[in-house]
Every structure is written in C-alpha cells, then in structure tokens.
Amino acid sequence: MLKEAIYHRPKNEFAYAFDEKTVHIRLRTKKGDAETVFLIYGDPYGWEQGKWMTKREKMKKIGNDALFDYWFLAVTPPYRRLRYGFEIHSTKQKIFYGEKGFFDRVPDEDIANFFCFPFINGEDLFQAPEWVKNTVWYQIFPERFANGNKENDPPGTLPWASAEPASDNFFGGDLEGIIGKLDYLSDLGINGIYLTPIFKAASNHKYDTIDYFEIDPQFGDKKTFKRLVDECHRRGIRIMLDAVFNHCGFYFPPFQDVLKNGERSKYKDWFFIREFPVQTEPHPNYDTFAFTPFMPKLNTENKEVRKYLLEVGQYWVKEFDIDGWRLDVANEVSHQFWREFRKAVRRVKKDVYILGEIWHDAMPWLGGDQFDAVMNYPFSKGALQFFAEEKIDGKTFSEMIQQVLFSYPEYINHFAFNLLGSHDTARIQNIAGFHQGKVKLLFAFLLSFPGSPCIYYGDEIGLTGENDPGCRKCMEWDPRKQNLDLYRTVKKLIELRKTHPIMANDGAISFPELKEGTEQVIFHKENERELLVAAMNRSEKPVRLLLDIPFDQVEREYTDLWENKKEKIEESQFPADIGPFGFKFFLFQKK
C-alpha cells in the first residue's frame, strides 16, 4: 500500500463530534489500494489487568474521488472520549496507522500510538439553524427584479428592460416591487430570499456601501423594508441580507473624511493607508477590494470599526427580524472578527443563518465558531462542467462532487449554500448553450442534492445573460416571454424536495463507481426507512441503466417520483430507462 496516500487528522473533516454522543471517523487511502479497514478504539482510561480494552469494528467505504478512497464509521464512545487507530488490509499487506505513524501490528501497549479525540464538549458542537436544511432560496438583485414604486426611481431611470444591463444604468427595481411578487415566489415553492445589498450606495449593485444603517432611497425606506420582512414571514419565507464588511464605498463618510483631512482625520486608522496624502490615481495608495480605488478596505482590527460593524450586524436583526447574513469577501476579513460577529448576532436571535462568500476550501471558517455555511461554488463548477458544458464525463463529475462532500463534515454539507448561478456568474442558459434539457438536468441535480439550494432570480423562467453585467438583466414578467415549461419543471422539483425529505437532507448520499466516458450520473440517498436512487442522462440518446439495488433490504415495489406511479421490480437487476437529457428518482421502502 502507498503509505504516503493514507491520511487522517482529528478535529477536522476526518474526525468530528456529530452530536453529543457520536463521533464520525473518516480515513483516506489511495484509490483501489485498501480492501478492508477496521477501526480499533477504546476509552483511554479503560484498562483491565494492565491491558487496554478496545473494540475492532469494520469501516464502510463511502466513496472516492480521482485519487483516493474514503472510509467511514460512526462511533458512540460510552464516556464521550476516544483513542483510536486504523487496521488497513490490502490483498498482500496489513498495517496499523495511528498518531505515531505506521506499525506492522497493533501497538496497544502504549495508547500514545493512537489518535486522540479527548472529549465531546457540548459547546463545541456545530450548531446551525435547523430551518436552513428545509429552505429553497431565491437570490434577488433588487435593482433588476421589479419596480413597484416609480416615485423612488433614481435620476435617469430607464423603462423596464428597455436596454441591456450595464454597470451604470438603472431600471428602478425596489423593495415595493419584491413585495408585489411574493405570491409568485410562494407559488414557485420558495421559502427563503437572499437579497444582494440594499444599503445606501452609489452603484446599482450596492456593494460600495455609503451608510450601513440606511436603506438606499432608490429601494425605499425602512418602513417598506419592515413590511417586506413581515409579509415574507407571514408566508413562511425567510429573509437574508448581504453585507460587505471587508470594504466600504468610496463615499463612505469616514473615508471621505480621510480624503479631506489626511493624517489629521480621526478615521485614518479605519483603513489601510500606506502613505499620505491619499491618492487614487494611477493606483490607490491604500488597500482596496481587488485594485479598485472605489472600494477601500476596512480595518476590522480597529476597535471603532469593529464596534461599528458589529452594531450593524445586530441592528438589522433586532429592528427588522431578518433571518440571515450573507457576508461578502468573507475570506479577507480576520477569523477573530467573524467569531465576534457570530456571538453578537446570535445574542439577538439564536437561529440567524451566517453565510460566507468563499470560493475555495472553507474548512477554517466552518469549525462552528464563525459561519454556518459558505457559497458552494465547487458544487457549481462541477455541475456546470458536466451537465451544461460537457467538459467532463460522469465518472469525473461523480469524483469531483464526492471530493466536495468529503472536504467537510457531514453536518456542514446539510447547510451548504448550493447554487448554479449568481450575480457574479454567467446565466446557466448561456453556459448550457440554451439547451433546455441540460438546464432541467442542472435543476434536477441541484434540487435533489444535500444542502440548501438557491435559484438565481429568473433562471426558473429562462432568463439569459453573460457575465456581469449581462447576468443582471431585468426580470421578465410577461408570461408570453417566459419559459413556462422550465418553470413547471422547477416548481415540481421543489415540491418533490419538500414532500420527500430524503430528496433534501434526510439521507446519506453515495455515488456508485462509473466507467470512463459515461454520460450518466447515479447517486443513492439512504436513511433508516427509505432508499432513493437518482439517475440522470446527459446524452442526446436514451439509455437503459442496470442499477444496483439491495433487493434483500428493500421492498420490491417502488415509486417513480417524477411520474408519480408505483412499479414492481421483476428482474434480478433493476433496469432503468432514461430518455435523452432525462432524469428519474426511484424511491424504495426498506423492509
């Protein structure tokens, strides 16, 4: 066996307390290397007559990515503490792996050779709002969703959808417009709204905040926003706001004071000014978001800045009862600030959802002391490359998605903010080459995958657009110009997700191994009562798949969820006929 590929480390995604009684243990080995893995474990103080008392239990191979296999076992230590190691078997070799390395036998005479999980402390458990697991989000770019009050239109507002979106044009979308469309969202099945920034700012996107305590006048006022929140809550819809604490806008009053007064400004330490006088051209001599002089970076280590921003976090929760914060450029702000932010907003409301914008491996932010989840862009990339762009085959896609899942503890995957597109990416219609079969497959995968899925406004009716600013078109409200067939598909998928919890987060997901070149993807979701088998065909040709079903564990009768009909298994193997760019969900009841 290739020892260099074998990996485990406690207190991260490889060993974590799942709840107050259970520890989840994972091990990584080279793909195809190990045939069987046993976990040897015991209480560190459990000795009898000079011998350490241990158990030996077989681990389950739960999946693989391109390079590695992953093994899993849930353990319930009687005293909430654990020492453990791994006995790994191949066809030719048996080795023991522990904290001190590799051994030819189990070195149980000294428990220092074993990994240590010292104690399951209740206050260290990952605690995220349970409601998020049952939420289907809808992201709204307020300026382009609906114009409900023309009196607050900014100067130069264009007639709705009369021009292509640009970085500097306005169409009058506002909060009143969103209120007027809540019944549309409820009918679709949406129960969570994520609003990009609504605070006072100069741009149409509002990521250049001027005042964090004020609604931008072009969107309305606080009274209107309070009505929006109340109307949403009355319909069972949660509201999440977007905040930019990494940087502010150029016209943020403290930064304007620095521009005016230079070193004499009392706000000079609110920012990272490298020298005075402050200059914006040819390059800013202060830290910014990227290199734009219009978004100066905030110094969140400054006590006054920290106090100001923490008050912002609490204010909108306390005064308006919002349900979540989406935090822009979250990875460039200090971990300590986010720890304090979590405590501050949770003091006001215990079940506020805290979501970070992080595009890469986010485990350092997901230890239970900062964020509940991050925007799952690795999920987006894999889904788009397979279903929309046909850049990878089903085998590669399956391995990519499993790598995403194994990057985090199981419970974090239940709260992951899964998306296909956003205000920062091209529309899925454009990426899929306007192929409606591919777009439907994307939604089928999104809405049957663990996590908390999000739909970017208009994607459900076929809105198009390239990268920013093209992806920020005005919402199309004329039914004659909407893709109503796509809308009905998305609505039905959401309904299935809500009707059958196993379509959402009530089940452990696994992917059977596929052959190279396949244009299909298959996954299973399983709980104590049910088995869901999903099969998706990216090919323009129909296909018959022979699915592996544990016939000794499930009833012969199953339900085709998409067709809403019951069938019986008659053969020793389960043949599934999937049409071109089609998908199926088969639900089996366990014996």
Over range 391-411, report the average pLDDT: 97
Separation of alpha carbons 523 and 527, rounded Å: 14
> What is residue 550's predicted lDDT score, i.e. its pLDDT?
87
Contacts of 164 (CB under 8 A, 6+ apart): 470, 473
User: In this structure, what are the phi and psi dihedrals at residue 38, rounded to the nearest 5 degrees?
Assistant: -115, 145
Catalytic residue among 328, 393, 506, 530: 328
The answer to whether residue 573 scores a pLDDT higher than 80 is: no
> What is residue 572's predicted lDDT score, i.e. its pLDDT?
64
The answer to whether residue 455 scores a pLDDT higher than 70 is: yes
pTM to 2 decimals?
0.96
Q: Which residue has the tokens 């919890």?
A: 501
Q: Which residue has the tokens 């099945």?
A: 189
Q: Which residue has the tokens 């191949």?
A: 90
- Burial label for 382, CB within 10 Å (0-12, 13-18, 19+), is buried
Which of the four pLDDT bands, split at 50, 70 and 90, describes residue 443?
very high
> What is residue 371's predicted lDDT score, i.e. its pLDDT?
98
> What is residue 551's predicted lDDT score, i.e. its pLDDT?
84
Question: Is 328 a catalytic site residue?
Answer: yes
Which of the four pLDDT bands, split at 50, 70 and 90, describes residue 564?
very high
End-to-end CA separation in angstroms for the chain: 39
> What is residue 359's predicted lDDT score, i.e. its pLDDT?
93
The answer to whether residue 405 scores a pLDDT higher than 70 is: yes
Q: Which residue has the tokens 């074998």?
A: 6
3-state secondary structure 438-455: HHHHHHHHHCCCCCEEEE
> What is residue 100's predicted lDDT score, i.e. its pLDDT?
96
Residues in the chain: 591
Check residue 153 and report its DSSP letter: P
Q: Dig out the tokens for 163 from the structure.
A: 């021009």
Check residue 184 and report its DSSP letter: H
- Burial label for 436, CB within 10 Å (0-12, 13-18, 19+), is middle
Question: Is 357 a catalytic site residue?
Answer: yes
Radius of gyration for the alpha carbons in the chain, expressed in angstroms and rounded? 26
> Are 296 and 247 in contact, with CB atoms under 8 Å apart?
yes
Q: Which residue has the tokens 């009369």?
A: 162
> Are 205 and 509 in contact, with CB atoms under 8 Å apart?
no
> What is residue 548's predicted lDDT score, i.e. its pLDDT?
87
Over range 163-180, report the average pLDDT: 97
Separation of alpha carbons 75 and 55, rounded Å: 11
Q: Dig out the tokens for 275 from the structure.
A: 């020298």
Separation of alpha carbons 59 and 71, rounded Å: 6
> Are 176 and 153 in contact, with CB atoms under 8 Å apart?
no
Over range 43-50, report the average pLDDT: 95
Catalytic residue among 176, 216, 340, 357: 357
How does pLDDT run across 328-344, given as a tens digit for each residue? 999 999 999 999 999 99
3-state secondary structure 383-437: HHHHHHCCCCCHHHHHHHHHHHHHCCCHHHHHHCEEECCCCCCCCHHHHCCCCHH
Separation of alpha carbons 348 and 155, rounded Å: 38
3-state secondary structure 300-348: CCCHHHHHHHHHHHHHHHHHHCCCEEEECCHHHCCHHHHHHHHHHHHHH
Q: Which residue has the tokens 């893995």?
A: 37
Three-point CA angle 10, 16, 21, nearest 5° = 130
How does pLDDT run across 4-40, given as a tens digit for each residue? 999 999 989 999 999 999 999 999 999 999 999 999 9
> What pairs with residue 139 in β-bridges?
194, 456
Average pLDDT, the chain: 97
Separation of alpha carbons 310 and 339, rounded Å: 11
> What is residue 552's predicted lDDT score, i.e. its pLDDT?
85
SS3 content of the chain, % helix, strand, coil (to 5): 30, 25, 45
The answer to whether residue 150 scores a pLDDT higher than 90 is: yes
Give the C-alpha distances (Å, rounded to integers) separating 68 from 109, 190, 287, 378, 403: 31, 38, 40, 18, 9
How does pLDDT run across 501-554, given as a tens digit for each residue? 999 999 999 999 999 999 999 999 999 999 999 999 999 999 999 998 888 899
555 three-state secondary structure: strand
